[in-house]
Each structure stands twice: as C-alpha cells, then as structure tokens.
Amino acid sequence: MRLFVGLGNPGSKYANNRHNIGFMAVDEIARRHGFAPWRRRFQGETSEGTLDREKVVLLRPTTYMNESGRAVQEAANFFKLGASDVTVFQDELELPAAKVRVKVGGGIAGHNGLRSITSHIGNDYRRVRLGIGHPGIKELVHGHVLSDFAKSDRAWVEALCAAVADNAGLLVAGHDSSFANKVHLALQAKGFFDKGDDGAA
C-alpha cells in the first residue's frame, strides 16, 4: 500500500496557484485512474484506488501548506505506513517549468510543506519535484509561488499533470528513473522541450 500526498493550500482562492501543483497532480491521478470520490478525513481529503495492482491512497492536506505534516502523519499512522511508503508531489522553484525530478530524502530547500512533513514522519519519503521555475530574484519568490499560473502556462501544466498521472504506476513499483524519463519524453513530444534536451535541469 502507498500514500501519495499532493501539497497545496485549500480553498478556491489558492486553487490555481503555482504552490498548488501538487494538488493538481493527485487530482489528475484520481481522475485518470478512476479512483473513488474524495472524502474528508485525516485533516485532509482522500481518494483510494489501485495503481500497478497495489492500493494507493491519495491525500490532499487541508491544513494549509505549513502544517501538511499533521495530515500526512495521521494518515500514515492509520494505515501503518512508514516514510518509505509515502510519496509527496510538490512544487519546485529550483527546477525550470515542466521539469520533474524524483528523489528520496534530501533537503527541503525552504519548502514549508516538506519541512512540516519531515518534522512529523522523518525525511525518508519520496518527493516528486514538479518544476514551476524561479522568478530570478529572492524577494519575488513568495509572490511567485502564491500567484496563479499564467494563461500561457496552462498547456504545460495540464500536460505535466497528465504525464505524471499516466506514469504514476512506475512510482508504486519503485521505478523512479523510468517515471521521470517517461514524463520528460511525454512533455518533449508535445513540444515543451527541444529534442536535444535530455531532461537535465
């Protein structure tokens, strides 16, 4: 069994923020794979289904970003899951838009959602880092992540979430590199990267 956590802030005010791309990704997993309707529990909302013949619980914490760990810990404890069974989908400033990286453990790079999760369940969970680009100036970061995606971003955001959802079974199977590669190739095929781009950030 696996717990897939999408990070974001609850409510319509934040729904299209760059910070909410984790919510968008798990929403698309639920939609594409016919998961059960969302229901409120564990200080969040969950949807259950199957990927690669294994049960997966999707979780969207409704605690606001900086308290995400409370919801993750409650769900993990209920299902008796360790940090290694948890995969977190997060926005990543340090990656160009539409790039994806997967890693287990590591630093939190100032991400308040990751900081909260690490403080509650430890650091050994998988992070699916979804690139949203950096505004270039540190002082603009807060406004950048809490602003909506531009209309011109919509095509790559939708393509990225679709590719993440289509290949999510590879994460369940532990094929992290294959997952990242297939997502990159899907975005490349739609023209978001040059053919010579090997996916390196």
Supply the residues annotated as catalytic: 19
16 is in an annotated binding site: no
Does 17 count as an annotated binding residue? Answer: no
Three-class DSSP labels, 67-86: HHHHHHHHHHHHHCCCHHHE
Closest CA to 152 of 98, 94, 93: 98
Per-residue DSSP letter, 9: -
20 is in an annotated binding site: no
Q: Where do we find the tokens 């950096």?
A: 134
**What distances in angstroms separate CA 196 from CA 49, 61, 130, 155, one per listed residue?**
37, 38, 21, 21
Query: Is 112 among the annotated ligand-binding positions?
Result: yes
Residue set of the binding site: 14, 64, 66, 112
- Known binding-site residues for tRNA equal 14, 64, 66, 112
